[in-house]
Chain A
Amino acid sequence: MAAAIEAIQLTRRFGDFTAVNALSIAVETGEIFGLLGPNGAGKTTAIKMLTGLLQPTEGTARIAGFDVERESEEVKRRLGYMSQLFSLYPDLTVEENIVFFAGLYGVTGARLKQRRAWVLDMAGLDRQRDTMTSALPLGWKQRLALGCAVLHEPPVLFLDEPTSGVDPLSRRRFWDLIQTLAESGTTVLVSTHYLEEAEYCQRVALMNRGRLVALDRPAQLRGQATDPLFELETPNPLRAVEVLSQDPGVVDATLFGRNVHLTLREAANADHRVRDLLATHEVAVTSLEPVAPTLEDAVVSLIRRTGGAADD
Chain B
Amino acid sequence: MTERIFAVARKELIQLRRDPRSLTLAFGLPVLLVLLFGYAVSFDVKDIRLAILDEDRTSTSRELIDAFRETKVFRDLGAISRRADADRLLTKGKAQIVIIIPEGFAADAAAHRGGQIQALVDGADANTASISVSYAEATVGTWGQRHEAKLSTMPSGVRPEIRAWYNETLDSRLAIVPGLIAVIMMVIAAMLTSLTIAREWERGTMEQLASTPVHPLEVIGGKLLPYLAIGMIDMGGTVLLGIFVFQVPFHGSLLLLFLTSLLFLLGGLGLGIFVSALVKSQLVATQMSMLITFLPGFLLSGFAFDIDNMPVVLQGVSLLFPARYFIVVTRGIFLKGVGIEVLWPQILALTLFALGGLTLAVRVFHKELEP
Q: In the assembled complex, which residues on chain A have CB atoms less than 8 Å from the CB atom of B6?
A: 103
- State whether A91 and B371 are in contact (beta carbons under 8 Å apart), knowing that A81-B208, A105-B213 are contacts in the complex: no
Q: Does B371 lie within 8 Å of A55, measured CB to CB? A: yes
Q: Does A91 lie within 8 Å of B205, measured CB to CB? A: no
**What 1/0 mask marks residues of chain A from 242 to 256 whose CB sits below 8 Å from any chain B CB?**
000000000000000
**With the chains together, A99 CA to B15 CA distance in Å?**
14
Q: In the assembled complex, which residues on chain B have CB atoms less than 8 Å from the CB atom of A96?
A: 11, 14
**With the chains together, A81 CA to B371 CA distance in Å?**
16
Number of chain A interface residues as a range: 20 to 34
Q: Does B15 lie within 8 Å of A91, measured CB to CB? A: yes
Q: Does B212 lie within 8 Å of A104, measured CB to CB? A: yes
Would you call B245 an interface residue if the criterion is a C-beta within 8 Å of the partner chain's C-beta atoms?
Answer: no
- State whether A104 and B14 are in contact (beta carbons under 8 Å apart), knowing that A72-B370, A83-B207, A88-B205 are contacts in the complex: no
**With the chains together, A9 CA to B14 CA distance in Å?**
44
Would you call A100 an interface residue if the criterion is a C-beta within 8 Å of the partner chain's C-beta atoms?
Answer: yes
**With the chains together, A85 CA to B211 CA distance in Å?**
14
Q: In the assembled complex, which residues on chain A have CB atoms less than 8 Å from the CB atom of B18?
A: 91
**What 1/0 mask marks residues of chain B from 1 to 32 whose CB sits below 8 Å from any chain A CB?**
00110111011001100110000000000000
Q: In the assembled complex, which residues on chain B have CB atoms less than 8 Å from the CB atom of A100?
A: 7, 10-11
**With the chains together, A96 CA to B8 CA distance in Å?**
11
Q: Does B3 lie within 8 Å of A108, measured CB to CB? A: yes
Q: Does A106 lie within 8 Å of B3, measured CB to CB? A: yes
Q: Does B19 lie within 8 Å of A104, measured CB to CB? A: no
Would you call B78 an interface residue if the criterion is a C-beta within 8 Å of the partner chain's C-beta atoms?
Answer: no
Would you call B307 an interface residue if the criterion is a C-beta within 8 Å of the partner chain's C-beta atoms?
Answer: no
Interface residues of B in 209-241 (CB under 8 A from A): 209-214
Closest B residue to A54 by beta carbon equals B371
Q: In the assembled complex, which residues on chain B have CB atoms less than 8 Å from the CB atom of A87?
A: 203-205, 207-208
- A130–chain B nearest beta-carbon distance, Å: 13
Q: Does A103 lie within 8 Å of B211, measured CB to CB? A: no
Q: In the assembled complex, which residues on chain B have CB atoms less than 8 Å from the CB atom of A51?
A: 211
Would you call A177 an interface residue if the criterion is a C-beta within 8 Å of the partner chain's C-beta atoms?
Answer: no
- State whether A53 and B207 are in contact (beta carbons under 8 Å apart), knowing that A77-B213, A108-B3 are contacts in the complex: yes
Would you call A73 an interface residue if the criterion is a C-beta within 8 Å of the partner chain's C-beta atoms?
Answer: yes
Q: Does A83 lie within 8 Å of B208, measured CB to CB? A: yes
**With the chains together, A80 CA to B207 CA distance in Å?**
12
**With the chains together, A90 CA to B19 CA distance in Å?**
12
Would you call A101 an interface residue if the criterion is a C-beta within 8 Å of the partner chain's C-beta atoms?
Answer: yes
Q: In the assembled complex, which residues on chain A have CB atoms less than 8 Å from the CB atom of B19?
A: 91
Q: Does A103 lie within 8 Å of B207, measured CB to CB? A: no
Q: Does B3 lie within 8 Å of A103, measured CB to CB? A: yes
Q: Does A103 lie within 8 Å of B4, measured CB to CB? A: yes
Closest B residue to A84 by beta carbon equals B204
**With the chains together, A103 CA to B209 CA distance in Å?**
11
Closest B residue to A105 by beta carbon equals B212
Q: Does B213 lie within 8 Å of A53, measured CB to CB? A: no
Q: Which of A55, A79, A91, A106 contacts B4 (CB 8 A)?
A: A106
**What 1/0 mask marks residues of chain A from 9 to 47 whose CB sits below 8 Å from any chain B CB?**
000000000000000000000000000000000000000
**With the chains together, A87 CA to B8 CA distance in Å?**
15
**With the chains together, A266 CA to B147 CA distance in Å?**
122
Q: Does A53 lie within 8 Å of B211, measured CB to CB? A: yes
Q: Does A89 lie within 8 Å of B211, measured CB to CB? A: no
**With the chains together, A263 CA to B14 CA distance in Å?**
59
Would you call A92 an interface residue if the criterion is a C-beta within 8 Å of the partner chain's C-beta atoms?
Answer: yes
- B348–chain A nearest beta-carbon distance, Å: 37
**With the chains together, A80 CA to B369 CA distance in Å?**
17
**With the chains together, A81 CA to B204 CA distance in Å?**
13
Q: In the assembled complex, which residues on chain B have CB atoms less than 8 Å from the CB atom of A129?
A: none
Would you call A171 an interface residue if the criterion is a C-beta within 8 Å of the partner chain's C-beta atoms?
Answer: no
- A260–chain B nearest beta-carbon distance, Å: 44
**With the chains together, A105 CA to B214 CA distance in Å?**
7
Q: In the assembled complex, which residues on chain A have CB atoms less than 8 Å from the CB atom of B207?
A: 53, 83, 87
List 8 A-B pairs, minimum CB-CB distance, nearest first.
Answer: A103-B7, A55-B371, A81-B211, A87-B204, A87-B208, A85-B204, A104-B212, A76-B213
In the complex, 9 of the A-B residue pairs with CB atoms within 8 angstroms, ordered by the A residue number, are A53-B211, A72-B370, A77-B213, A83-B208, A89-B203, A89-B205, A92-B14, A96-B11, A103-B10
Question: What residues of chain B have their CB less than 8 Å away from a CB belonging to chain A?
Answer: 3-4, 6-8, 10-11, 14-15, 18-19, 203-205, 207-214, 370-371
Taking A104-B7, A104-B8 as known contacts, 19 extra A-B pairs with beta carbons closer than 8 A to each other, sorted by chain A number, are: A53-B211, A55-B371, A79-B211, A81-B211, A83-B207, A85-B204, A87-B203, A87-B205, A87-B207, A91-B15, A100-B11, A101-B212, A103-B4, A103-B7, A103-B8, A104-B213, A105-B212, A105-B213, A106-B4
